[in-house]
Amino acid sequence: MNIELATTALKALAHETRLRVYRRLVQAGANGLCVADLATELGAEANGSFSFHLKELSNAGLIRSRQEGRFIYYSADYPAMNELLAYLTEHCCAGQSCGEQEHSCTIPENP
């Protein structure tokens, strides 16, 4: 992680729709959700704008996609967020260790 990757990831998360999408995908676990379900759950429409936001998150490496039949499933890339948090925390702690205070994200069990 470097400052360029960090700003890219932060930019991707710095939009309400995308932050909601990301959060929902994190909660969804490794399977993720297909676009239509994702949009429905967030009260959004699966249109070009929604697709644009998915691409932003995807380009930032925060989410991944896989085709499954007619549907495209998106899922959170947990390590990416962990790296971002680590980067922010590192600087947040002024180069000192936070002691026990690490963070990391667990992948929820498949529902």
Distances (CA, A) of 11 to 14, 42, 61, 68, 95: 5, 20, 12, 29, 24
Neighbours of 108 (CB within 10 A): 14
User: Does 102 engage in binding with a copy of itself (CB under 8 A)?
Assistant: yes
Using CB under 7 A, pick the residue from 1, 42, 65, 78 that binds DNA: 65
Binding mask 6-35 for DNA (x = CB under 7 A): -----x--xx-x----------------xx
**Pairing outcome for strands 71-76 and 63-68:** antiparallel
Alpha helix stretches (DSSP H) within 1-111 = 3-13, 16-28, 35-41, 48-59, 78-92
Binding of DNA by 2 (CB under 7 A): no
Determine if 66 is a binding residue for DNA (CB under 7 A): no
The piece of 10-18, 33-41, 51-59, 64-72 that touches a copy of itself (CB under 8 A) is 10-18
The reply to whether 44 sits near a copy of itself by the rule CB under 8 A is: no
Q: Which two tokens stand for residue 88?
A: 């922010």
> Does 53 help bind DNA (rule: CB under 7 A)?
yes
Which residue of 47, 70, 100, 110 would you call a contact of a copy of itself, by CB under 8 A?
A: 100
Q: What's the CA gap between 102 and 90, in Å, rounded?
A: 10
- Tell me which residues touch DNA (CB under 7 A): 11, 14-15, 17, 34-36, 46-56, 65, 67, 69-72
